[in-house]
Chains A and B, each alone.
Chain A
Amino acid sequence: MKKISVRTSDGQEFELEENLAMESATIKTSLDAFSRDDIILLPNVNSWEMVKIIEFFTKVQELETKFGVKFMEKKEGRFLEAFQAEFDKDLSDDNLYCLLWTVDYLGIEVLLENLCHLMAERTKNKTVESCRNLFGVQHDYTPEEEAEIREDYSWAFEGPEIEE
């Protein structure tokens, strides 16, 4: 199996098996445009993110062997549980967030779907302020707009389950 070399933003190089590298739409486009012997530069990807992505691929292969299903081709529920158990505990909110956007940039659909699921889990039952902190979002409502929209959705703020 041919190996594809990639170099991340901080100069580290990684080798990926070709079929796995092709899971990334971005890498695939580069490969189609250039020779496979060239190193692909990924200036938007950090090395720790690359490590995580490789970890993901390794995990998928393990699970595929274990369950006998091609996970890359379908979005299996069992995979989701196993994935969440493995990945969720390691990633801080910030890291999850950054990994999410990197995977989005790389265009790895299956991983993106799973990360979004993790992110959604972390967003549940959070207050508006902690969501803003979590995503680093700028608060761009005027006070009037904010009051109006809070009024519209006042029912969503009732209930004891909201955690800080």
Chain B
Amino acid sequence: MGCCGDEENDDDILNPLSPTSSTTTQTRDDSSSSSSDGHTSISPMNSHFSALACRDTLRLIFEKLPIPDLARSSCVCRAWNSVASDQEIVANAFKSPWKLKDVVGKPASGSFWRDNSLGKFAISHRIARGDSVASLAVKYSVQVMDIKRLNNMMSEHGIYSRERLLIPISDPEMLVGATCYVEVDPCAKREVAVLYLEDGPDQKSMSSCSLSQKSADSSGLNSELGKKRVLESLRRSMQVDDATALYYLSIADGDPRAALSQFSQDLRWETHSAFA
């Protein structure tokens, strides 16, 4: 099985394209009928388009595939792999069933993207005075056991030693149009796509100015608190200290994705020059 139009490329461009069977390369005079039944069809093997070079069209197709099919496409050949593993396509496949607006952050391993079930997502709840696991369970309509499991809590009393708790998501509607941050949660000990609710239940820790600014920017990135959260989440994703995270965020003009991509570029450069 040869690549599309490999050997026949030159000839085909000179001759008019005619349907042939895959075993012969001669053109047939009666091939100009406009019917498109099977045996007069053009085999991709004889097509003189350099189809594999057409990454844009491949992208259009892959954009519509769900995650398992994307993965299988990567195994087909190198060209397909480079398009199907493209970060944007993978991220979109991850986001699309939930209609997420954006997922910010680069997970430590690509296997993060393999699973976009609801269990991958969680709400970040900042612990406030008076909170208990039971009250949070009621507030977010989830089970106490699920909160404990997600946060690796043995007992419910450990709640006050933590800054925040991750809450499993009961209603997928919350994800629609939302922005999630990929974080390694130290308590959950795994990578989670975290949702910060600017409006809604978690209002005690918010100042009023950041609430009003939310209307313009759905992820509240303009507010001071929003910025702090982005910084925190960036720090967790990159697994560096505050100062480094702040540096990258500032050179990227506050764009966390650009910051992460710059960070990983720098890491790669460092690795390469170590071998140089």
Chain A residues with CB under 8 Å of chain B are 9-12, 43-44, 46-48, 50-52, 90-92, 94-95, 97-98, 100-101, 104-105, 112-113, 116-117, 119-121, 123-128, 131-133, 135-141, 146, 149-150, 152-153, 155-157, 159
In the bound assembly, the distance between CA atoms of A49 and B135 in angstroms comes to 64
B153 adjacent to chain A (CB < 8 Å): no
Chain B residues with CB under 8 Å of chain A are 1-4, 6, 16-19, 31-36, 38, 40-45, 47-49, 51-52, 54, 57, 60-69, 71-81, 110-111, 114
Question: A48-B34, A138-B2 given as contacts; is B61 within 8 A of A157 (CB)?
Answer: no
In the bound assembly, the distance between CA atoms of A11 and B61 in angstroms comes to 31
* A residues near B69, Cβ cutoff 8 Å: 123-126, 156
Identify which of A95, A112, A125, A159 gathers the most chain B CB atoms within 10 Å of its CB.
A95
Contacting pair B72 A97 (CB below 8 A): no
In the bound assembly, the distance between CA atoms of A11 and B87 in angstroms comes to 44
Contacting pair B60 A116 (CB below 8 A): yes
The listed residue (B2, B64, B72) touching A126 by CB distance below 8 A is B72
The listed residue (B38, B64, B65, B68) touching A159 by CB distance below 8 A is B68
Listed A/B pairs (22) with beta-carbon separation below 8 Å:
A11-B16, A43-B17, A44-B48, A48-B35, A50-B34, A92-B41, A100-B57, A101-B47, A113-B60, A117-B64, A119-B61, A120-B63, A123-B65, A131-B73, A132-B1, A135-B51, A136-B45, A140-B77, A140-B78, A141-B75, A150-B75, A155-B68
Contacting pair B36 A91 (CB below 8 A): yes
Contacting pair B57 A136 (CB below 8 A): no
Taking the closest CB of chain A, its distance from the CB of B10, in whole angstroms, is 14
* A residues near B61, Cβ cutoff 8 Å: 116, 119-120, 123
Closest Cβ neighbor of A100 among chain B residues: B57
Taking the closest CB of chain B, its distance from the CB of A101, in whole angstroms, is 5
* B residues near A127, Cβ cutoff 8 Å: 72
The listed residue (A47, A91, A97) touching B44 by CB distance below 8 A is A97
Contacting pair B44 A132 (CB below 8 A): no
The listed residue (B3, B32, B36) touching A138 by CB distance below 8 A is B3
In the bound assembly, the distance between CA atoms of A36 and B111 in angstroms comes to 55
Taking the closest CB of chain A, its distance from the CB of B214, in whole angstroms, is 29
Given A10-B32, A159-B68, 14 other A-B residues pairs in contact with their CB atoms under 8 A: A9-B17, A51-B34, A94-B44, A95-B36, A105-B49, A112-B60, A116-B63, A123-B61, A126-B69, A128-B75, A135-B51, A136-B1, A136-B47, A137-B79
The listed residue (A11, A46, A104) touching B42 by CB distance below 8 A is A46
Question: A51-B34, A132-B76, A159-B68 given as contacts; is B41 within 8 A of A94 (CB)?
Answer: yes
Q: Is the interface of A mostly helix, strand, loop or mixed?
A: helix
In the bound assembly, the distance between CA atoms of A10 and B6 in angstroms comes to 22
* B residues near A10, Cβ cutoff 8 Å: 16-18, 31-32
In the bound assembly, the distance between CA atoms of A121 and B64 in angstroms comes to 8
* B residues near A156, Cβ cutoff 8 Å: 67-69, 71-72, 114
The 8 residue pairs across chains A and B that have the minimum distance between CB atoms: A136-B44, A156-B71, A120-B64, A10-B32, A138-B3, A9-B16, A116-B60, A153-B71
Question: A137-B76, A138-B3, A139-B1 given as contacts; is B65 within 8 A of A12 (CB)?
Answer: no
In the bound assembly, the distance between CA atoms of A151 and B102 in angstroms comes to 29
* A residues near B36, Cβ cutoff 8 Å: 48, 51-52, 90-92, 95
Contacting pair B77 A47 (CB below 8 A): no
In the bound assembly, the distance between CA atoms of A97 and B19 in angstroms comes to 13
Closest Cβ neighbor of B17 among chain A residues: A9
Contacting pair B74 A98 (CB below 8 A): no
Contacting pair B72 A128 (CB below 8 A): yes
Question: A137-B52, A138-B1, A138-B77 given as contacts; is B41 within 8 A of A98 (CB)?
Answer: yes
* B residues near A112, Cβ cutoff 8 Å: 57, 60
Taking the closest CB of chain B, its distance from the CB of A120, in whole angstroms, is 4
The listed residue (A116, A146, A155) touching B64 by CB distance below 8 A is A116
Taking the closest CB of chain B, its distance from the CB of A119, in whole angstroms, is 5
* A residues near B73, Cβ cutoff 8 Å: 123, 131
